[in-house]
Chains A and B, each alone.
Chain A
Amino acid sequence: MSLISKEKLDGWLSAIAKEATLIAPREIGGVLLYRPVAHSNDIVFNFTRPEMSIKEWLFPATDRLMVIEKYRQQIRLTETLPNNRQVIFGVRPCDASGLKVLDTLFTDTDPVDLYYTKRRENTTLIGLACQEMGESCFCKSLGGELDDPRDVDIMLVEREGGYEVQVITEKGRDLLPSDWHDLDNWDERETERRVYPDFNSASSPAYLETQAWPPFFKDDYWEKLAERCLSCRICAYVCPTCRCFDIRDEVLPSGVGFDRFERIRCWDSCASEAYRRIAGGHNPRPLKGQRMRNRFFCKFYYYPEQYGPIACTGCGRCVDACPVNIDITEVLQHLVEVNS
């Protein structure tokens, strides 16, 4: 095991920041967020997890798809595909596995979403293992681990005296300084990902497997649970795997003699009341219970049925962020108890 010192790490990160966009945890207005940094000094190294996941750097809250220029009866479309290099430092395993979940939809399922996929290709992830689980974390319920290196390009683990560096992918190796020797290559066989999670441990509440969900669709539990829901969008926005979006054309400042618009997509959430309202006013999910049910079923049944992985990585952000304490671990616990 080779360790690099904090100073060496600082130097390396500051060098990266000069050549590409380096994104790392920063404190902004009292909130910890992944933001671009110019120098290693701006980075917070000691944290549980930032308020928002790294998702916003691969799938931004507002994403410009194309620019439309209109002059009389002529139209010119210009696709605006992303192409800048970015390196994200301080990625927790739960966020990295969140990206793997999004990959199955955006990249592995035709047609390929070029915007997400190009960003993914141009992004290198430097993982930072967790030292301990946070109060609301439950990654272990879903097969995660504090130092699971599977989904990042380089994994750093803080040890006594420095950071252990593991090279996971070739993309990761390309980012390392050439004079760093004796770095471990991670071997796929090293860590067996557990298929069945621990049940009933304090840090790892139970989880209900996919095929056991359908009978709960008709349950009145959802209406009771959602009585206190505010129908805001916090849970979907902080989540590393939620990806519902809206598309619209918006006006840009016009050019000389012609109109300009941009076609953008923005985050949306199935929890909000207007989500499924159609022109004409009909809404198939007018009740909060129906919307809350859709949210949980989508994560634990629809998404795995359609694409493979469960759309939850146990990061616990929604547990902390929900203003009325709608708690995904409580929901899972309840379903497991009723099921058995």
Chain B
Amino acid sequence: MNGKFEPKIVGYLCTWCSYTGADTAGISRIKYPGNLRAIRVPCSGRVSPELIMRTFDQGADGVLVLGCHIGECHYDNGNHRTAKRLPILKTLMEFTGLEPERLRLDWVSASEGERFSRIVTEFTQEVSALGPTKWQNHTESTGLRYVGSRSAEMSQPRVATFSSRFDQYVEKTEAIQEKARELLAKDQVNCVIGYEVGPRGRTRPAFIHHVDEVDRLVWNQDCSHNLATYLRQKLHPSQKSSSDEKRQRVAIVVKPCDSRAINVLLSENQFDREQVYVIGMTCEGIFNKEGASRQFASHHLPEKFSVQDRCVHCTERTPVLCDFLIGDPPDSSIIPESPGDDELEGILSLSPAERAAFWTEQFDRCIRCYACRQVCPLCNCPTCLYERDDSLWVGMGTGINEKRAFHLGRAYHLAGRCVGCNECERVCPMNIPISLLNRVLAKEMESLYDFRAGIALGPSPLLTVLRGVEG
């Protein structure tokens, strides 16, 4: 060994085309570098993104996925799935510090020995030039101040001013209470899920089962929680969410972002439409309390307040789905024109090494409390992939590799499903800007597939379901 760096390349080759293509290269005595460790799969569609992420976590310097040409898949459309998934995975991994040249998707048919050899040779050279993987190694925090570091000055809060806003809250509160009273009195729902203010003055979710409790319900600028997260627990047939066995029907108070989540849940058949009565609220924005952003004390209502980041970028001010609308559609001047996501752009302007260092610093603080996952309406797996007893995908420890695997895997699973409520970030006790991962994928889904989650009912998840010509 002469000390030259020899990269470890893992290749996922599909049986019918690319693996046979590799054979063809061999039979024809066409040379290619020996760095490739070939893993034979029935179809490139079988190569799940979790598998690729794990391959990098285990120390691969480069991962090459080779499938049949589009239109030639032995299973008709297996490679269509690969074609949809890999660009999203690449975006995610590059966003968190992987060099783009390390992951490549290409198509090779059984007879294309030359092509196989050329691709492998090119890929190996590119990866060699990058040097050994830094993905698996975590760097110590360098102490540099990055754009993404969460200090108060970083994100510019937009100031929202309203006149007679307090009256609006009182009106909206009364409207919610009246509707709740009506629904419960007529026994149209078992439960109304809304907001109340606790003894400390903090707004929190409320579950109203009786008409006499209806006065607990409120509407104010601190109604941040995405209540759709409770719907599946209450309504899915498999859930025993209370000792009350009869079929549940609930009413729910939703903001525009929350209503999108309901659309995604309906699209994924989590419960029936008639089980939910949607009380939709028009929304000018939710308060961004300085300092501890998790809790809100509704003691003082300032004349002006800053809204949360996600409200700055929001383009729906009226719910996309509702049975009863409360509030007037807000003045269109409140809706910003092409709101820029400065924080996201900031990360995208960094080099791969800087991005990796940024995310290492963020994930270092994570304590794996899973609050981000639990608060999300769309994270519903009975057993989370990353919490399995047999540690199949990731161990249970709090090393950076493990925590990153969890967060990246979760973000990938939410691509095309996340509605941008950013509750995951609000609840994080360690102030990790976790919604950045979801935002970059939402942006990619919109630009590649012209898709925004939950705006309308439709096939979901987009990365799994093949629509129209795709299938």
Contacts and interface: CB of A to CB of B under 8 A. Distances in A.
A286 interface: yes
Given A320-B294, A324-B205, A327-B199, A29 B365 contact: yes
Given A232-B374, A248-B395, A330-B198, 10 more contacts: A29-B365, A31-B365, A31-B431, A61-B367, A227-B205, A233-B368, A237-B367, A248-B391, A325-B200, A330-B200
A148 B241 CA distance: 44
Nearest to A60: B398
Contact of B371 (A51, A223, A230, A267): A230
B332 interface: no
Contacts of A272: 370
19 contacts: A29-B149, A29-B365, A31-B430, A31-B431, A51-B430, A61-B398, A62-B399, A228-B204, A233-B368, A233-B369, A234-B429, A237-B369, A248-B391, A248-B395, A272-B370, A323-B371, A323-B375, A323-B423, A324-B205
Dominant SS among interface residues on chain B: loop
A37 interface: no
Contact of A264 (B205, B243, B397, B429): B397
Contact of B429 (A51, A266, A286): A51
A250 B229 contact: no
A20 interface: no
Interface residues of A, number: 44
B294 A29 contact: no
Contacts of B240: 286-287
A234 B429 CA distance: 8
Interface string A300-331: 00000000000000000001110111010010
A195 interface: no
Contacts of B243: 223, 287
A8 B361 CA distance: 33
Q: Quick one: which of A30, A31, A33, A330 has the most chain B CB within 10 A?
A: A30
A232 B369 contact: yes
B148 to A, nearest CB: 10
Contacts of B205: 227-228, 324
A251 B371 contact: no
A284 to B, nearest CB: 13
Contacts of B423: 323
A29 B374 contact: no
Nearest to A268: B396
A182 B365 CA distance: 41
A234 B398 CA distance: 15
A165 interface: no
Contacts of A136: 200
B398 A266 contact: yes
B390 to A, nearest CB: 9
B432 interface: yes
A28 interface: yes
B292 interface: yes
Contacts of B200: 135-136, 319, 325, 327, 330
A233 B370 contact: yes
Contacts of B187: none
B361 A287 contact: no
B365 A33 contact: yes
A52 interface: yes
A228 B216 CA distance: 15
Nearest to A235: B369
Interface string B420-441: 0001001101111000000000
Given A250-B396, A274-B387, A324 B429 contact: no
Nearest to A229: B374
Interface in B241-255: 241-243
A227 B207 CA distance: 7
A102 interface: no
A266 B199 CA distance: 35
Given A320-B294, A327-B200, A238 B429 contact: yes
Nearest to B148: A29
Nearest to B426: A323
B202 interface: yes
B150 interface: yes
B365 A330 contact: no
Contacts of B404: none
Interface in A61-94: 61-62
Contacts of B230: 227-228
Contacts of A319: 200
A231 interface: yes
Interface string A144-174: 0000000000000000000000000000000
Would you list the 6 A-B pairs with minimal beta carbon distance, nearest first?
A323-B427, A232-B371, A325-B204, A230-B374, A250-B395, A62-B397
A31 B151 CA distance: 10
Interface string A258-272: 000000101100001
A108 interface: no
A246 interface: yes
B295 interface: yes
Contacts of B396: 246, 248, 250, 264, 266
B183 interface: no
A250 B294 contact: no
A267 B295 CA distance: 25
Contacts of A61: 367-368, 398
Interface in A269-313: 272, 274, 279, 286-288
Contacts of B292: 320
Contacts of A320: 292, 294-295
B225 interface: yes
B206 A228 contact: yes
A250 B397 contact: yes
Contacts of B203: 325
A92 B1 CA distance: 57
A29 B429 contact: no
A51 B396 CA distance: 22
A310 B226 CA distance: 35
A320 B291 CA distance: 12
Contact of B369 (A28, A234, A274, A279): A234
